[in-house]
Structure 1
Amino acid sequence: MATIVKNPSGTWKAVIRKQGWPTTAKIFRTRRDAEDWARQSEDEMVRGVYIRRSTSQKLTVDIALDRYLREITPTKKASSQKRDHTSAKAVRPHLGPYALVALSPEIIGQYRDERLAEGRANDTVRLELSLISHLFTVAIREWGVGLPGNPALAVRKPKGRTRDRRLHGDDEAARLLQTVRAHSNPILAWATELAIETAARVEEILTLELRDVHLDRRIMVLRDTKNKDTRGVPLTARATEILQEAIATYPRQDSPLIFPGNPGRDGVRRPYRMGKVWRNALQRANIQGLRFHDLRHEATSRFVEKGLSDTKVRTITGHKSPQMLARYAHLRAEDLVAELDDRQGHPTMSPPIRHKAPPEKTGQSAKIVPFRPQRAK
């Protein structure tokens, strides 16, 4: 049975001491409110569904985001860390003062609609909602915050726009390669061609180390992947030539990286950074709307066009499911038209349907045989 005591200030304090549960207390303005809360809490303890909500009532979104950015964000990749800080900055003005327990699917859905009305891109709002959802997940599972559930899971996320940008024909590919090869640092050209040949991400390429490349077996091992799974990638003849040239060009005395950048103030060589250099190269090549990650789309689509099975392509690219692979494998319609033309007359193509001509009339009427049932024997 709960203990109800009156404080000198005139408020009422309810204290619950139950075996197997931590001591719980809460202050109310009236004795009746204290008794109602104690009765409901004890009933939930008996049924095994009691949730300690005091922490969630005091913990606001602002305070939770501070802890999230301090404890969870540093465990992510650099690009994800930057995205977390950007999304948190957008969430604070709208939802920061709310307590976690006060956030409902309706409130989060209203936030989504307001951000879209401001002209924010669907992908931007979707990433902000993902941050809110993961914040609740961490608070419930790791911080012990008493919440009945994650309200963000019940909110519909805006659909992201699937990119289908590829190199437009041989002319754009030639202009791109010509421009990057003309740059003073050959790493720009090497990384660009490796992306086209292997479908590797830019971080996966620039963090390659000498131990990860096996030229005798024509395999490179990617360790710093997006999903943190190590995978081996077969090398084409051109990819093998690129890595041979890169290894022969840079000494490995002060860094194990194959594509090292300039030494920092501490004298340590870190992976080459090519963001600004890549944008300048696109401008010189007069290419618009192309991102470096689009080269992964280009390479994946080329693998599919070469006739590799989905399983083999996923082994190379690291996609976890056929659905994820379908987002990246964009076939050109004109290539499909050419393939259809090549298949004309192929033995596997179904032959045209030819209807049989009706028999010619001879001028004689057909003989009609009457139906005569047989007698039972």
Structure 2
Amino acid sequence: MATIVKTPSATWKAVIRKQGWPTASKTFRTKRDAEDWARGTEDEMVRGMYVRRTLSEKMTLEAALRRYLLEVTPSKKASTQKAEKTKAEPLIRLLGKYSLAALTPDIVAGYRDKRLNEPVRTKLKKDSLIIPGNVSANTVRLELALLSNLFTVAIQEWRIGLPQNPVANIRKPSPGPGRNRRLSPEEKIRLLKAVNAYHNPMLGWIVRIAVETGMRSSEITTLRRHQVNLKKRVVTLSDTKNGERRSVPLSTLATAAITEALDNPARPTDTDLVFFGEPGKDDKRRPYVFSKVWNDMKKKLGMADFRFHDLRHEAVSRLVETGKFSDQQVAAISGHKSMQMLKRYTHLRTDELVELLDKANADSPI
């Protein structure tokens, strides 16, 4: 049975001493609140469901996310670290003042709905620019995934008393159908002509390699000379998005591009990067950065909606369209771990499918 006492400050303190459980106590403004808490807590103890919530009631979500970014995030890949810091910002802005114990499924669902109706903002040097359209469902889904992982770590590793993960009990936004932007034959000609004419030849080599291999931008720009075997026409990637080592076969065009890059007469002697940038303030060279010139070039070509990552879609789809590779072989080249993920990247052109149907009917007429 709980003990309810009035304190010198005119509040009410409930104290529970039950065999097999640590002493639990809490102070309330009214005696009724103290009795209700004591009754509910004793009931949880009887059912073996009692969790000490002291830490979870004191720690705000902002403090928990700061700790997560300091202790957990640094163990992940650099790209993931940057992404998690970005995802934490709206969570802190909208939910940061809540304690972990106060975050219920209803509150998290409210966050989901509010974010889905927020306009997109992009940061400039001083202010933020509002872009037409709302935050995407996939962005919100990834933010909720970070929040869910935070609660899992808090419960399992930090031993903060929480009865449940509130994110587990709400509906998550659908990731959507994914992009299906492809280059038209005319766009491909104009794009390759523009990048090849740029004064720094590394841009043209990078784009050509992306079109021929389906490699990601980060996989190409971080390439080092020891990863390239021109004799076998293979590039070995050790730091991939899914964390697994991958060997990428090179077509004749990709081999030619990498050969030209390795023979670059402007190559400095202080780096083994295939695509190198200028030294930083610490005198260290980092990978070649081409995002600004790429974006400016797209706008001039009337292809502002085309992303560099769409070259990966293009390359993988072209491999499938040849009909010479199985799904498993395409996945081995592209690095996709599941056929479902591979399917999102392969968007076959309808007119080419029609040609294949006609050919099939001609080969075996009824």
Residue 140 of structure 1 is matched in structure 2 by 155
- Amino acid in structure 1 at the alignment position of 2:362: G
CA distance in 1, matches of 2:295, 2:175: 24
Answer whether contact 2:214 2:334 (CA < 8 A) is retained.
yes
Residue 281 of structure 1 is matched in structure 2 by 297
Q: Is residue 268 of structure 2 the alignment partner of residue 269 of structure 1?
A: no
Which of the numbers 201, 210, 213 marks the counterpart of 1:198?
A: 213
Q: C-alpha offsets along residues 304-333 of structure 1, whole Å, 9 cap, x if unaligned?
A: 011211101111111111110010011011
CA distance in 1, matches of 2:303, 2:36: 68
The share of aligned pairs that are identical, in percent, is 46
Residue 299 of structure 1 is matched in structure 2 by 315
Using a 3 Å threshold, how does the CA distance of structure 1 residues 213 and 64 change in structure 2: closer, same or farther?
A: same
Residue 93 of structure 1 is matched in structure 2 by 93
Q: CA deviation at 1:4?
A: 8.1
Q: Structure 2 length normalisation: TM-score?
A: 0.85
Q: CA deviation at 1:53?
A: 2.1
Q: Is residue 246 of structure 2 the alignment partner of residue 215 of structure 1?
A: no
Larger radius of gyration: 1
**SS of alignment partner, residue 343 of structure 1:** helix
Alignment of 1:68-147 (within 5 A): 68-118=68-118, 119-147=134-162
Q: C-alpha offsets along residues 231-250 of structure 1, whole Å, 9 cap, x if unaligned?
A: 11111111111111111215
Q: CA deviation at 1:297?
A: 0.2
Q: CA deviation at 1:57?
A: 1.8
CA-atom RMSD, angstroms? 2.5
CA distance in 1, matches of 2:212, 2:99: 50
Using a 3 Å threshold, how does the CA distance of structure 1 residues 56 and 173 change in structure 2: closer, same or farther?
A: same
Please list every run of 5 or more consecutive structure 1 residues that lacks an aligned counterpart in the other structure: 352-377
Q: Is residue 325 of structure 2 the alignment partner of residue 324 of structure 1?
A: no
Answer whether contact 1:203 1:224 (CA < 8 A) is retained.
no
Aligned length: 343
- Amino acid in structure 2 at the alignment position of 1:104: T
Which of the numbers 238, 247, 259 marks the counterpart of 1:232?
A: 247
Please list every run of 5 or more consecutive structure 2 residues that lacks an aligned counterpart in the other structure: 119-133
CA distance in 1, matches of 2:227, 2:285: 18
**SS of alignment partner, residue 89 of structure 1:** helix
Q: Structure 1 length normalisation: TM-score?
A: 0.83
- Amino acid in structure 2 at the alignment position of 1:39: E
Answer whether contact 1:204 1:223 (CA < 8 A) is retained.
no
